[in-house]
Chains A and B, each alone.
Chain A
Amino acid sequence: MGNEASYPTEMCSHFNHDEIKRLSKRFKKLDLDCSGSLSVDEFLSLPELRQNPLVQRVIDVFDTDGNGEVDFEEFVVGTSQFSVRGDEEQKLRFAFSIYDMDKDGYISNGELFQVLKMMVGNNLQDWQLQQIVDKTIIILDRDGDGRISFEEFSAVVGNLEVHKKLVVIV
């Protein structure tokens, strides 16, 4: 795991020195106003990011302290969840928090709807989407409270093994 020691412990990530160096270069490139943190606008300055329906969610998840900006530490910790060396639960957590918009630890019907809405855009009608959301929730919801906890989420999604693909090479 490389030279983690040379970084503050709270920055403990799965990256080695080289990777962090590369990330910091990248970070500086993205940080157009040199403020030391990335705002949504700065992210969206990348044309390819603008097309990604979930980029807003990803930024939100990166932004752990909720100040609307992603600083370098958040940046490293966020991306480190996608490291090859990251563990599976971490990746599942990340996916879960993509859906969990209000960060209350549960995915509600409305949250799921909104996330899916971002993904399908105008391909589906709202009512179609709502049907899908309802059905998904029924399937996932084990305890019948109408929302999905992380345990419920990981029970089903973990089995699909899709999260194992969540790897990005930095």
Chain B
Amino acid sequence: MRCAALPLLWLPLAGAAATEEPTREPGSPGEPPPGLALFRWQWHEVEAPYLVALWILVASLAKIVFHLSRKVTSLVPESCLLILLGLVLGGIVLAVAKKAEYQLEPGTFFLFLLPPIVLDSGYFMPSRLFFDNLGAILTYAVVGTLWNAFTTGAALWGLQQAGLVAPRVQASLLDFLLFGSLISAVDPVAVLAVFEEVHVNDTLFIIVFGESLLNDAVTVVLYKVCNSFVEMGSANVQATDYLKGVASLFVVSLGGAAVGLVFAFLLALTTRFTKRVRIIEPLLVFLLAYAAYLTAEMASLSAILAVTMCGLGCKKYVEANISHKSRTAVKYTMKTLASCAETVIFMLLGISAVDSSKWAWDSGLVLGTLFFILFFRALGVVLQTWVLNQFRLVPLDKIDQVVMSYGGLRGAVAFALVILLDKTKVPAKDYFVATTIVVVFFTVIVQGLTIKPLVKWLKVKRSEHHKPTLNQELHEHTFDHILAAVEDVVGHHGYHYWRDRWEQFDKKYLSQLLMRRSAYRIRDQIWDVYYRLNIRDAISFVDQGGHILSSTGLTLPSMPSRNSMAETSVTNLLRESGSGACLDLQVIDTVRSGRDREDAVMHHLLCGGLYKPRRRYKASCSRHFISEDAQERQDKEVFQQNMKRRLESFKSTKHNICFTKSKPRPRKTSRKKKDGLANTEATNGKPPRNLSVQDTAAVILTVESEEEEESDSSETEKEDDEGIIFVARATSEVLQEVKVSGSLEVCPSPRIIPPSPTCAEKELPWKSGQGDLAVYVSSETTKIVPVDMQTGWNQSISSLESLASPPCTQAPTVTRLPPCPLAAEEPQHPFNLPYDPRPSFAFPPSLAKAGRSRSESSADIPQQQELQPLMGYEDRTHLSPGTANSHWCIQFNKGSRL
């Protein structure tokens, strides 16, 4: 494998060799000016960036090669492979160029390579986990690092005094302390690289990793203080200097954190106003974070801490503000940059080690350092853990401690710092460099290689990857509140108290200041999770393809819409007005619309006046936007018009209502066009389901869709429906309808391609007349309800509600299955908190099953029926017992045409 990568090496080398010739050429004085050259070789002009690009390319290709074999990467961490590759490359460069080139320059490292990695880890740090373990992390980072630095330095000095270090190594106690301070810090890059592959449990990971990030401040301070002491000469150091040293610890760490937070604030604030220039959102994130890093570096504060805090602090607001696409862009760019930087760092580490001119070997020093590092790390961890465990409910057990000690990897930061030493002031620099290289290699390669088997052998609890579940979200909230309450009761102002306070503050002021109003309003975590769950369900349904369910839920789309480009407040409206924005698919498939005939009539009427969609192709060449699809815009228009019209007629009819989302579809002829129109149809009549606003999603089922399935166009695209159709029908007629068993009956029509309308087509006017649309399984369909409709919508809802009150109007026929007590809960009721003795609602046993298994469209009615209570809350009110017949079928055709 590695051989494959070898030829690549020659690229930069060949390039370097090529430098010679071209540079000479233009310079040669004797020749006449060459006239217009057809071809000019200008290597020197592009050399620097070209080499950088080539190195990155080599590193990336090497990565690809490593990952060709799963076996290798599962055994050997990538960082080891990269270091080895670096060694090989360095050797080749050395052999060819006779001198070591391409070092890991501390300047490059600190200014360009480190920031992306730290930003990535800060931004994607699980903040809750981090703050929950903050105490432990800080202890290990501050106390642990100080402990390591001093003990290692002092022990090495002792070793020297004992004569075990060769006398060539001229170093005083201060020198050793300086060395101790740079070698003692656990390195974030190395830890991340190794632990990401090990997958230990979250707590363990966050402690080790958090420590490696936060100890930067301590390392920087120690290093600087020791360095300046060494430069001043130990004789000149006065007592005040020690005090200053201690003070600078606070200045550097708190200052770094403050810088980070200030920039986080700026970043969040800036993204609040990017609505019209979405395209620069990702850039802003990177720029401001980098600015934070540079600012901290400039003020010689802890830059790592600054970026970490910046990422940690801004994430919540930035994510809420920027668009969905920007979020993805940020995520991928950040990961790419970080991985790229990490790769280059490890490779350069390997390459730098080859340069023997820079180091000098002393076995005593090297072995001593290795031993002390491991020993004091372990000792430090044990001592600190013992203290910490007094305060932890779940103590860190022995195994955790072993992993923590063993996971204390040293890395590029130590190497860069040791290279920065001034040889005139620190005569033993070369020995230190050699020792550092050995330590880094030992920890990354030996410990990196063995930690995985060790973790397995010790049976360390691994992290389980589970997506956030509704339960988790709910109970975490509950538990937080419980804890805060108990802390208040007990009068102990601890962590939970302050977190609670912070959240209140955040909610009251910060969020309002830093988040767009639209984003702020719809922010509720529980709801978010619920949403995501439903969307996941929906997607998996679609993927499974087999079953056709459609949900109006197509609300699918509405999910990302929160921040999506079309920032019409459509989604807000939906959420506020309580439309079927988020339908639980498990529920939906059991629901079916009950009216057709009436609907049909209604729709015929409506159809006449409907706006006919026409495609407009717009060239979108704005550089400032990724314009939304022309299509999307068009849909919106169509939709708005439809809505207006329908609402009006809707109000006038004021009868059972249900709305389905649908849109007019273009003719079949236009198949090529993509239309994300959806159509859902309400199918045959069933007893009316009394109106419900939310469940609106009525849709259809489709057996008939045979035809369509094949033609793959027509109904297929239903899934994207977005639009809403209100269907109103007279109750009386409804009554007549016999219960319909399934969707089957509804559309018995054989598949006939164009001419004969399926019954659905007959009944549902909008169905005919429209051709198929190309399927458009759009990833996000965002539109739901136009904003301007909101008022009208609300009005109509309220009017409906008033209608609903007299029981007679509605649901004459209905019989509701037993679990109806729920009906008792009226939505409008203000909730009386604690002791409201409401009847509890019990689900019939079959329910769960029914909910989960997507039964065939014809599924037994009773079961589905039972699910109804699951629908929107308000809905329930209107349900009267006995809706047994009513049954909504929903069909979700998989878009096959994509």
Is B174 at the interface (CB under 8 A from chain A)? no
Which residues from chain B contact A21 at a C-beta distance below 8 Å?
none
Q: Is the CB of B489 within 8 A of A79?
A: yes
Q: Is B485 in contact with chain A by the CB < 8 A criterion?
A: yes
Binding stretch for chain A, among B8-16, B326-334, B387-395, B418-426: B387-395
- Is the beta-carbon distance between A140 and B833 smaller than 8 angstroms? no
Instruction: Digitize A108-122: 1 where CB-to-B-CB distance is under 8 Å, 0 elsewhere.
Output: 111100111111100
What residues on A are CB-neighbors of B872 within 8 Å? Answer: 127-128, 130-131
Cβ contacts under 8 Å, B106 to chain A: none
Q: Tell me how far the C-beta of A13 lies from the nearest C-beta in chain B, rounded to whole angstroms.
A: 13
- The answer to whether B51 has its CB under 8 Å from any CB of chain A is no
A108/B840 contact (C-beta < 8 A), A94-B482, A131-B582, A135-B584 known: yes
Chain B, range 382-418, C-beta contacts under 8 Å to A: 390-394
Chain B 556-614 interface residues, beta-carbon cutoff 8 Å to A: 575-576, 578, 582, 584, 586-587
Contacts of A84 in B (CB 8 A): 390-393
Q: Per a CB cutoff under 8 Å, which of B470, B479, B837, B874 touches A126?
A: B874
Bound complex: CA A152 to CA B367 (Å): 56
Most buried by B among A55, A117, A135: A135
Once the chains bind, are A146 and B471 in contact (CB under 8 Å)? no
Q: A29-B491, A79-B490, A167-B393 are in contact. Are A134 and B694 (CB under 8 A)?
A: no
Q: How far is the CA of A12 from the CA of B586 in the complex (A)?
A: 47
- B483-498 with Cβ < 8 A to chain A: 483-492, 494, 496-497
Q: Please, what's the 1-or-0 string for A47-90, where 1 marks a CB less than 8 Å from any CB in chain B? A: 01101111111101010000000000000001100101010000
- The answer, among B479, B835, B841, for a CB contact under 8 Å with A101, is B835
Residues in A neighbouring B819, C-beta threshold 8 A: 146
- Complex Cα distance, B486 from A127, in Å, reads 30
Instruction: Evaluate contact between B487 and A168: CB separation under 8 angstroms.
Output: yes
Bound-state CA distance A126–B533 (Å) is 19
Q: Does B895 contact A (CB under 8 A)?
A: no
| A160 at the binding interface (Cβ < 8 Å) | yes
Which residue of B390, B482, B501, B833 is within 8 Å of A95 (Cβ)? B482
Pairwise interchain contact A169-B488, C-beta atoms closer than 8 A: no
Residue B754 at the chain A interface, CB threshold 8 Å: no
Task: Report B834-874 CB contacts with A as 1/0, cut-off 8 Å.
Answer: 11111111111111110110000000000000000111111
Would you call A157 an interface residue if the criterion is a C-beta within 8 Å of the partner chain's C-beta atoms?
yes
**B108-116, B523-531, B653-661 - the one binding chain A:** B523-531
* Inter-chain contact A166/B393, CB cutoff 8 Å: yes
- Mask, A137-167, CB within 8 Å of B = 1, is 1111101111100000000110011111111
Give complex CA distance A120, B529 in Å: 14
Is A170's CB within 8 Å of the partner chain B?
yes
A11 interface contact, C-beta 8 A: no
Q: Is B472 an interface residue (CB 8 A)?
A: yes
- Are B827 and A131 neighbours in the complex by a CB distance under 8 Å? no
Residues from 1 to 33 in A contacting B, C-beta threshold 8 Å: 23, 26, 29-30
Q: Give A149 Cβ to nearest chain B Cβ, in Å.
A: 13
Query: Which of B470, B475, B478, B491 contacts A26 (CB under 8 A)?
Result: B491
B845 to A144, Cβ gap below 8 A? Answer: yes
Q: Which of A30, A135, A140, A156 is the one whose CB lies under 8 Å from B533? A: A135
B114 to chain A, nearest CB (A): 33
B500 at the interface (CB under 8 A from A): yes
| Chain B min CB distance to A119 (Å) | 6
Instruction: Report how far A109 CA is from B820 CA in the complex, Å.
Output: 13
**What's the Cα separation between A56 and B836 when bound, in Å?**
13
Known A-B contacts A29-B491, A157-B475; the reply to A168 vs B840 at CB < 8 A is no
When distances are taken between beta carbons in the complex, the residues of chain B under 8 Å from A143 are 845
- A124–B870 CA distance with the chains assembled, in angstroms: 16
Which chain B residue has the least Cβ–Cβ distance from A130? Answer: B873
**Contact between A128 and B578, CB atoms less than 8 A apart:** yes
Decide: A114 and B471 in contact? CB cutoff 8 A.
no
- Which A-B residue pairs are the 7 nearest by beta carbons? A108-B840, A146-B842, A127-B873, A130-B873, A146-B843, A144-B845, A127-B872
Q: Can you name 22 A-B residue pairings with CB atoms under 8 Å?
A: A54-B482, A58-B482, A58-B486, A84-B391, A99-B478, A109-B842, A110-B825, A117-B831, A124-B527, A130-B876, A134-B869, A135-B530, A144-B843, A144-B846, A146-B819, A146-B845, A162-B479, A165-B479, A166-B393, A167-B393, A168-B486, A168-B490
